[in-house]
């Protein structure tokens, strides 16, 4: 591994960057930094306060290339994998294969740490019942999209599940002020009021949601009306 013949070949080709310029430039254009180059490898790095990704191209022999990728997501969650390819090292098919595997199969890295990725991760945690960790991610997403009704509703839902009802109600009322024609606001508010045994306010919220076209609000309002007052 990394024998003199391999190093000499890389040097004759102009070095690792020149050898893999087509591949490396794709990631540089995606916002990665070229962090390190030596006689047998290239290291690319992307990082923000939310996480980081490292990609290392290692020339094991003249015809053998290994690609190591590591990702550290928010709150210490990590993923690692490698792609090992034995082929002609300057083949455009190699670049196409590696980029395709990174972008579409192995790694959703190309979205990096945008809000959609963060929200999807938060939603998964929420539905797993991990409300504290979900809330951390919703809070992170809210930093760059502070008026997003769905994010605020999810934050409120986490607070409610954690027993912080005053904070939850504050956020529900915020969405009602900011987005009064969004029927989802009244569905969530109605569910919240039922959870805290405020049936009257729950029915008011569901009726408003039903008036805005929310079929779930309409069904819930009808169901509870029948239970409370009969047919």
Q: Where residue 181 falls among pLDDT bands split at 50, 70, 90?
A: very high
pLDDT in tens, 5-45: 888 888 888 888 888 887 788 778 777 888 888 888 889 88
The total number of residues written for the chain in this structure:
231
Q: How many CB atoms lie within 10 A of CB 34?
A: 14
Contact between 216 and 206 (Cβ < 8 Å): no
Residue 217 pLDDT exceeds 60: yes
pLDDT value, residue 109 = 46
146-150, 161-165, 166-170: segment of lowest average pLDDT: 146-150
Q: Report pLDDT digits (tens) over 146-155.
A: 889 999 999 9
Domain ranges of the chain: 4-111, 115-229
Q: Please determine, for residue 161, whether its predicted confidence score (pLDDT) is greater than 70.
A: yes
| pLDDT score, position 149 | 95
Task: Please compute the mean of the pLDDT values over residues 92-110 and round it to a whole number.
Answer: 50
Provide the pLDDT for residue 90: 46
Position 101 scores a pLDDT of 56
Per CATH, the architecture of 115-229 is what?
Alpha Horseshoe (1.25)
pTM of the model: 0.55
* Among the ranges given (102-111, 187-196, 209-218), the one the predictor scored with the smallest mean pLDDT: 102-111
C-alpha separations of 19 from 74, 83, 89, 103 in Å: 34, 18, 8, 21
Mean pLDDT across 144-168:
93
DSSP 60-114: EETTEEEEEEEEEEGGGEEEEEEEEEES-TT-HHHHHHHHHIIIIII--GGGTT-
């Amino acid at each position: 591994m990394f024998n003199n013949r391999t190093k000499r070949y890389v040097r004759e080709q102009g070095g690792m960057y020149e050898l893999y310029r087509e591949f490396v430039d794709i990631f540089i254009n995606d916002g990665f930094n070229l962090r390190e180059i030596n006689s047998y490898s290239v290291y690319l790095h992307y990082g923000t306060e939310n996480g980081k990704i490292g990609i290392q191209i290692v020339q094991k022999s003249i015809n053998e290339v290994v690609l190591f990728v590591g990702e550290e997501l928010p709150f210490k969650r990590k993923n690692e994998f490698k792609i090992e390819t034995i082929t002609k090292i300057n083949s455009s098919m190699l670049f196409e294969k590696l980029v395709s595997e990174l972008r579409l199969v192995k790694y959703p890295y190309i979205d990096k740490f945008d809000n959609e990725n963060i929200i999807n991760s938060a939603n998964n945690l929420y539905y797993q019942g991990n409300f504290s960790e979900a809330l951390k991610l919703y809070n992170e997403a809210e930093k760059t999209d502070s008026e997003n009704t769905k994010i605020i509703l999810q934050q409120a839902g986490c607070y409610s599940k954690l027993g912080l009802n005053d904070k939850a109600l504050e956020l529900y009322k915020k969405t009602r002020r900011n987005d009064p024609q969004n029927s989802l606001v009244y569905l969530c508010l109605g569910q919240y009021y039922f959870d805290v045994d405020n049936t009257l306010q729950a029915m008011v919220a569901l009726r408003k949601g039903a008036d805005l076209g929310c079929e779930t609000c309409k069904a819930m309002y009808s169901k509870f009306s029948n239970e409370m007052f009969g047919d």
